[in-house]
Structure 1
Amino acid sequence: GVEWCGVVASSTFTPPHDKTIKLEIISQKSANDDAGRKGVQIVLVHGSYHGAWCWKDTFMPYLSARGFDVCALSLRGHGTSTVPVDEETGERAKVAGSLQTHADDVRTFLESLGDDKQVVVVGHSFGGLIVQQVLADQSTNGGPSNVVGAVLACSVPPSGNQAMVGRIFKAAPWLSVKITYAMITDAFKKDANLMQDIFFRGPGSLPDTESLRILERLQEVQIRMLDVAALPNDLPVKTPKSAASGNWPPVLVLGAEQDSIVDSDGLRETADAFCTAPLTLAGIGHDVMLDAGWETAAEATADFITKRTV
């Protein structure tokens, strides 16, 4: 069922391969039908610790005002989506899913939108890696795809985050140790300054009220998105550069100048893999949809989509 909250509707999607899961979907229709973007549907995919909520007050109204229908989903275990259960123990699963599970969830949702839609999928951080897997599955399996473009924003590169973590440690050992410790122990969920060090431009990036609001949302996630230790077994993800063939949509690779998680080499790796040049946004941190200056990221996304769709 759909409940209308102003112009934002809430619904759920059950992936056909797993009837135990309901994914949270929030949707906003175009607020500008004169823009002529009727057939385009933008789908936003969040990264670790986040949910559909992270796009709701920024990218969604912005893209709606630019004439696009837009929706955001919460991956399993995030937002109000179902938290998976370990079949053997009946307890909450240790991780929300594998890279392939999440990609299958997203891919089947995109397919459910229908062939009459021009779908553009936007993935942030680890959500970007999931989107890369979706593109690989769709492009190399020769199946029909309604995806006409993708945006990878501060995305984990196709080889994963291990090399990146090593590089950041060499470049800034103290910050790197602090971030790694905060991620392993979830300490950033209790410390607004630490949270802003990781996801934003450092303490003071956001007004206190906004910082605390985001901290509360990050605390809601009680499960890891992926088993990062096992992830290298599933990598690298196939890309246009590594796949001999395939029908790949155009991709915008967006980076943030003050990103503490994805470094410039990681950004370049993703751009090279998709045979494009990265666009780096000045004065903004990793969470390009929540940091002050998010409009620059939303504008770059909308401009790319406008050029690539009818």
Structure 2
Amino acid sequence: MTTRVMRSQEWADPPKPVRREVLDAQPSSGGTATPVLFVPGYGHGAWAFAQHWLEHTAERGFPAYAMSLRGHGGSGPAPEARLCDYVHDVTQVAASLPRQAVLVGHGAGALVVAMAMARYPVRAGVLVAPVFGGLGTAFGLLGRNPAGTLPGAFGGRVSLRREQLFSRALPGNQAQTYAQRLQRVPGGAQRQLLRRQQPEAPVGAPPVLVVGSPDDRVVSGSALEWVARRYGGSPLLFPGMGHDLMLDARWQEPIDAIADWLEKVR
């Protein structure tokens, strides 16, 4: 992986200003621990981390923040958003935190975090169920859910079924409530995931952890391995969980493992 100094497209067409939603939870003990910034994937907002992981991370002693990408959650609308706009949002929020942050991205938000790490010198990065795009991802989703996936190729909404996001251990009514909160993703940002993205190398070579489930029905095991190899490691796996690890029935297991890892690298 290499890092580019100049990005002419971003200079020629810079991201437009937008209101950004950022939620936070602080440790009761205060202190100067490394802040953790959670970045949700496509269709999700900060609420997806505020449900469980935000407070739990603060209880583990880390100042915790969760943001919504533009056009998601409580952030401002952005019908023409692109990947580079999301990366800009993350780097701006991270730079506003009191100390060098850990970035935790989920799904396509993991790709955004990987791209942001080439611009912002993170303390560490965590990529949860990372969606780095490519035809393998597209065809995999098409095969499992053609009616919900095919419209995305033409600028329509990709609708993931609750069975693709959660394990059977999560009560059906709860899974349905979460699935109904997912928002439409701009067509341009969706189409960018049709080809596999190759993020530039992180600034300063920080430690990077890849987390996922071998039973994820959105991200294949081979895709998890591919992303983990790019950062010199192997994925930390949680069998029996769905794609949305932060909302699934056993949500505490992965966030505790992430916190344990952060305590070793901070």
Residue 134, structure 1, aligned to residue 116, structure 2: yes
**What is the Cα deviation at residue 99 of structure 1?**
1.4
1:27 aligns with 2:24: yes
Is the 1:132–1:237 Cα contact (8 Å) retained in structure 2?
A: yes
Matches for 1:280-295 after TM superposition, within 5 Å = 280-295=237-252
2:59 corresponds to 1:65: yes
- 1:101-142, Cα deviation, whole Å (9 max, x unpaired): 11111112111214xx1411100000000001011234xxxx
Question: Max radius of gyration: which structure?
Answer: 1
SS of aligned partner of 1:54 = helix
Cα 1:264–1:187, aligned 2, differ >3 Å: closer, same or farther?
closer
- The alpha carbon displacement at 1:276 in A equals 1.1
Which residue matches 1:8?
none
Supply the distance in 2 between the matched residues of 1:79 and 1:22 (Cα, whole angstroms): 11
Could you report, residue by residue, the CA deviation over 1:209-244 in whole angstroms, capped at 9, with x for unpaired residues?
3123213322xx24437533245679322236xxxx
Report the CA distance shift for 1:129/1:18 in structure 2 as closer, same or farther (over 3 A): closer
Q: TM-score, normalised by structure 2?
A: 0.84
Distance in structure 2 (CA, Å) of the matches to 1:19 and 1:229: 20
Partner of 1:238: 200
For the residue of structure 1 that corresponds to 2:105, the secondary structure is strand
Distance change in 2, residues 1:174/1:118 (3 Å): closer
Displacement of 1:29 after TM fit?
A: 0.4
Shift of 1:197: 1.7
Q: Percent identity?
A: 29
Mapped to 1, the partners of 2:166 and 2:45 lie a distance apart of: 17
Superposed displacement of residue 74, structure 1: 0.3
Show CA shifts across 1:168-226 (max 9, x none). Answer: 37xxx8525355248676484xxxxx62222113xx442233123213322xx244375
From the superposition, tell whether residues 156 and 223 of structure 1 become closer, same or farther in structure 2 (CA, over 3 Å): closer
Corresponding residue for residue 155 of structure 1: 130
Distance verdict in 2 for CA 1:133–1:112, change over 3 Å: same
**What secondary structure, in the 3-state scheme, does the structure 1 residue paired with 2:256 have?**
helix
* Coordinate RMSD, CA, aligned: 2.5
Q: How many residues align?
A: 251
Per-residue CA deviations over 1:62-96 (Å, capped at 9, x if unaligned) read 11111111010000000011002xxxxxxxx3x4x
The runs of 5 or more residues in structure 1 that have no matched partner are 1-16, 85-92, 139-144, 189-193, 241-245
Q: Could you say which residue in structure 1 is the equivalent of 2:82? A: 98
* Counterparts of 2:158 and 2:115, CA distance in 1: 30
Query: How far apart, CA to CA, are the structure 1 residues paired with 2:219 and 2:29?
Result: 34
Compared CA separation, residues 269 and 23, structure 1 to 2 (3 A):
same
Do structure 1's residue 165 and structure 2's residue 124 form an aligned pair? no
- The answer to whether the 8 A contact 2:134-2:197 is kept is no
Determine the C-alpha separation between the residues in 2 that align with 1:199 and 1:234.
21
Higher strand share: 1
Cα pair distance change 1:25/1:247, threshold 3 Å: same
Q: 2:190 aligns with which of 221, 228, 243?
A: 228
Compared with structure 1, are the counterparts of its residues 238 and 65 closer, same or farther at alpha carbon in structure 2 (3 Å cutoff)? Answer: same
**Residue aligning to 1:113:** 97
After superposition, give the CA deviation of every residue in 1:248-298 in whole Å (9 maximum; x if it has no partner). Answer: 210000011211111011101110111111111111000000011111111
What's the secondary structure of 2:71's corresponding residue?
coil
